[in-house]
Amino acid sequence: MVDLDAATVALLKAYKRERGGMALQLARDDALVFGDQEGNHRHPERFSRGFQGQLGRCERAFEKVGREALPRIRVHDLRHTHATILIAGGKPLKMVAERLGHADPAITLRVYAHVIPGNQREAADWFAVLVASA
């Protein structure tokens, strides 16, 4: 279970209502928000192919307006982007680990150590003051 902000929840509810207009089974309270047309789970590979197709549409739109091409990403890369933004924003590693479903924050640390802000100058200055005052 992942907590979402109120604006995202409202957007997902609106999307679910819109899908509910297509078929009654999609309007049920227990219907999947991102299910297939029958309300069943989508196959991960099919979902990924659809995601890549949408990226292709975006890429063509960017080309039409003379913008640089978008980088090719996978659905799983969105998870990494989310984690990286949280870590770079100074959110506690334990919080990020919980959002990712990691049982141990050490897993998160190993995967995302390269984006954890390090301030070696501050550590050196702090330690020098500590030693000098001893």
Looking at residue 86, what is its pLDDT? Answer: 94
User: Is pLDDT above 80 for 119?
Assistant: no
Distances (CA, A) of 50 to 36, 66, 79, 114, 128: 12, 25, 17, 31, 56
What's the pTM value of the predicted model, to 2 decimals? 0.72
Q: Given pLDDT bands bounded at 50, 70 and 90, which one contains residue 80?
A: very high
* pLDDT average, residue stretch 107-128: 86
Q: Would you say 81 and 75 are in contact if contact means Cβ atoms under 8 Å apart?
A: no
Average confidence score pLDDT of the chain: 89
Looking at residue 72, what is its pLDDT? Answer: 82
Distances (CA, A) of 88 to 2, 51, 75, 99, 105: 20, 26, 21, 15, 16
* pLDDT average, residue stretch 14-25: 87
Share of the chain above pLDDT 90, in %: 46
User: Is pLDDT above 80 for 53?
Assistant: yes
Q: Would you say 96 and 87 are in contact if contact means Cβ atoms under 8 Å apart?
A: yes
